[in-house]
Chains A and B, each alone.
Chain A
Amino acid sequence: MTISFEPSDNTVKAKAFFNQVAREQMRPISRKYDEQEHEMPWEFVRFMWERGRHQGGSFEGPNDGFVQVCVQAEELCWGDAGLYLRIPSPALGGSAVAAAGTNEQKLKFLSPFRGDGEPKWGAMAITEPSAGSDAAAIQTTAQLDGDEWVLNGTKIFCTAGEGATTYPGGFVVVWATVDKSAGRGGIKSFVVPAGTPGMKLVGLEKKLGIRVSDTATLVLENCRVPRDHLLGSAEVKKASPTQQGDKGFKGAMATFDASRPIVAAMAVGVGRASLEFLKEELARQGVTIRYDAPLHERTQIERDVIDMEAELQAARLLTWRAAKMMDHGKRNNLEASMAKAKAGLAVTKITQKAVEILGPLGYSRKLLVEKWMRDAKINDIYEGTQQINQLIVARRILDYSSSLLR
């Protein structure tokens, strides 16, 4: 092992490929689907399902491993972060199955996504009207009735929820409690296939940004799934102040260690879109950024841009570090939250600053700068808000349990 910033050939090729996809397939329709909120971008969906995923997948190699996944997410979100979330894939639901599922479950739920049929989506439903980051406060219940689990409750903010509930072959991983008295120990996750009676799509959120993304509200009403759709163990361990819950909850939480670097990479992609456009526009106006100019000569714009570049690169490198640790088989809970916290806030500020510096160009919906500012903000919120990630980082650096530092 050695410290190196040289991407492998496969990563370079994947980056070029997904950059082309972003430029040719995403940017041209970016504004259209922002305006036509929630409309399925079929031309892009079909492209990704039929060509994008196969060609993109051909670059996968052992070298940069999870870093390459981050590079891919960055490029596609440089294209459009909302469209990225509409790419047909198992997404977070798939991560949960991969992290906590048995081999049979992986085969059953994930293999249809590798076939040639119609586009499919996976999703994860955790958040409820009164339980967000505090996943242990989940009210949705799961009761065993014979050989079936019966789910009841309401889920909100379910990304790709329309795709996952509507199109055959898709599924939603629903978090529910099997024993409210057990706290987080009672939280389990269940795979609910698209079209399962009792799972209803009741609405899509109207949002500040990533408007094309189908952020769904789902209602589960006596929704029955087979017993073997439970991910992880059915055993309930009573929560104690110090323990972290059973393997099921841990397994589900572990998906965040894998997903947070990707979300951080997505954030970096949006921030980069904004910063690159800003620099190109400044260059068109004859303003170049001098990295070797002494402080007294630096203009405010140079200071701002240098600051934005440093912040973006710090976020990107923290992201890659968290990703690389997964390749090394190291626990990256701390580093994943560091990356997510940094990237979410950094790109929120970078995209705001770009709007500010570009003035009327930044504020106008003729260009995409204002959209990127709206899109960027979600990265500071989903997959754990800025504050939740700070809390996780704080617990880890202080070696405090969740009961000591609430």
Chain B
Amino acid sequence: MIDFEPTEEQQLIVDTVRQFASNEIRKESRDADEAGTLPASVLQQAHELGLTSNALPEAFGGGGSRSAVTGALIAEELAYGDLSIALGVLSPTLIALPVADFGSEEQKKQRLPRYTADRFLPGSLAVVEPSFRSDAFKPSTTARRDGDEYVLDGAKCLVPWQDGLEEVLVVASEGGAPQAFFVPVKAAGLTAEREKNLGLKALPTAELTLSGVRVPAAARLGGATGADVRALLNRGRVALAAAAVGVARASFELARDYAKERQTFGAPIATRQSIAFKLADMAIEIDGARLLAWEAAWLLDQGKDATREAALAKHQAQRVALEVTDGAIQVYGGHGYTREYLPELHHRNARGFATFEALSLV
């Protein structure tokens, strides 16, 4: 039966996370962006909401409520607060969910309990490569089997690199197909350089160089069986689509509220059709993009291939986020261009969605 109403449990999660985003995340947004750091206390507080552990298997201390739709709802609400902080909060999904989905028993035992524990532990997945040819599904980075080890060579960028990170899951081509490998941050041959980007300034990210990095054969995600990395990448696209909707919604609400306050010629600018219609279009596009993200997430929950739907959702949501955040600056006029207000921050973040891959997973 077709329906668009979240379950009661999902609605409770949405309400909780929305409140957290509005009260705790939003106020840190500007300072975190300027300082280029994530507020550790917010990460820990968010961790205590149990958003990631709720999705992990009960056998490892999780809540056993895995749902990509729920993941999409959470990603939107967190990103509605602030995209950088949202991705910081959700970085554990980058290791915990792949392990839950594809990990060998040993990988699960070793890692999952650490992501259901009391202390926040960041995760990281390296997908994007520093070239305009970057292709998530066909990475240039290679993994070559050599005896009991894999040897990894290549370069990655836009890799989340938060304090306390212990290992990164690196996507590399093994015999032409993408696989993922756990690489300790201190591995020999791995260098990480902190990036400076247009947006996502608060989220520490790194450009990685892998020169003959050797990891044991057991460090391949899924062990001997390997993993369906394409499915992982689709989960990343759905998460990003949902996050883009959250960024767009935050901008839309700022623009809407500002337009009702700001007076010109004796009336709020929101009473002018040129502004009112722009806001109406924003609202329509945001809802449309959200429904596409939900559909792709729902397909994932059905265990179906969502390559097309995830691509459509991300395509639409990244366009909508860019247009809505740009529109919000326009509604604010000159104030929107200043760093005193948030529209410019959202716009810089939104510009990245076309480039981002797998910065969180559902």
Contact = CB atoms under 8 A, between A and B. Distances in A.
B289 interface: yes
Interface SS of chain A: helix, strand, loop or mixed? helix
Contact of B4 (A291, A292, A310, A320): A320
A394 B280 contact: yes
A4 interface: yes
B1 A64 contact: yes
Contacts of B273: 391, 394, 405
B3 A2 contact: yes
A313 B309 CA distance: 10
Given A2-B6, A317-B295, A387-B277, A310 B271 contact: no
B186 interface: no
Contact of B134 (A291, A294, A395, A398): A294
A341 B284 contact: yes
B316 interface: yes
Interface in B274-320: 276-277, 279-281, 283-285, 287-289, 291-292, 294-295, 298-299, 302, 307-308, 311-313, 315-316
A326 interface: no
Interface string A302-338: 0000110111011101101100100010000001001
B288 A390 contact: no
A11 interface: yes
A232 B215 CA distance: 77
A405 B315 CA distance: 33
Nearest to A328: B5
B280 A397 contact: yes
Given A391-B273, A398-B270, A2 B7 contact: yes
B71 to A, nearest CB: 12
Contacts of B1: 4, 6-8, 63-64
A294 B133 contact: yes
Interface in A124-176: none
Contact of B288 (A4, A317, A400): A317
Interface residues of A, number: 48
A64 B292 CA distance: 19
A155 B40 CA distance: 67
Nearest to B4: A321
A320 B312 contact: no
A324 B287 CA distance: 15
B277 A324 contact: no
Contacts of A295: 132, 354
A315 B289 CA distance: 10
B31 interface: no
Contacts of A307: 315
A310 B237 CA distance: 14
Instruction: Specify which of A63, A307, A310 lies most central, judged by the most chain B CB atoms within 10 Å of its CB.
Output: A310
Contact of A314 (B7, B271, B292): B292
A35 interface: no
Interface residues of B, number: 49
Contacts of B313: 310
B292 A317 contact: yes
A296 interface: yes
B9 to A, nearest CB: 10
B266 to A, nearest CB: 13
A4 B7 contact: no
Nearest to A395: B276
A318 B288 contact: yes
A317 B309 CA distance: 13
Nearest to B302: A6
B135 interface: yes
Given A5-B298, A328-B5, A309 B312 contact: yes
Residue from B291, B298, B311 having most chain A Cβ neighbours under 10 A: B291
Contacts of A294: 133-138
For A64, A328, A395, A398, the residue with the greatest tally of chain B CB atoms inside 10 Å of its CB is A398
Contacts of B308: 291
Contacts of B302: 6
B35 interface: no
Contacts of A4: 1-3, 298
A329 to B, nearest CB: 12
Contact of A324 (B2, B230, B295, B315): B2
A4 B4 CA distance: 7
B262 interface: no
B202 interface: no
B2 A315 contact: no
A342 interface: yes
B291 A314 contact: yes
Contacts of B137: 292, 294
A289 to B, nearest CB: 9
Contacts of B138: 294
A292 B292 CA distance: 17
Contact of B291 (A293, A317, A398): A317
B311 A291 contact: yes
B361 interface: no
Interface string A1-31: 1111111100100000000000000000000
A395 to B, nearest CB: 8
B260 A398 contact: yes
A294 B356 CA distance: 12
Nearest to A327: B3
B256 interface: yes
Contacts of A404: 271
A263 interface: no
B257 to A, nearest CB: 10
A3 B68 CA distance: 11
A324 B294 CA distance: 16
Given A292-B311, A294-B133, A318-B291, A3 B271 contact: no
A297 interface: yes
Interface string B131-152: 0111111100000000000000
B75 to A, nearest CB: 14
Contact of B289 (A314, A321, A395): A314
A291 B285 CA distance: 21
A33 B306 CA distance: 40
Contacts of B311: 291-292, 306
A393 interface: yes
8 contacts: A2-B7, A292-B307, A310-B292, A314-B289, A341-B284, A342-B288, A393-B284, A398-B256
| A-B complex: 8 closest residue pairs judged by Cβ atoms | A314-B288, A317-B291, A394-B276, A1-B5, A393-B280, A291-B311, A294-B135, A310-B316
Given A8-B1, A338-B287, A394-B276, 20 more contacts: A1-B3, A1-B5, A3-B294, A3-B298, A5-B2, A64-B1, A291-B307, A292-B230, A294-B134, A295-B132, A309-B312, A310-B315, A314-B291, A318-B288, A321-B287, A324-B2, A391-B276, A397-B256, A400-B270, A400-B276
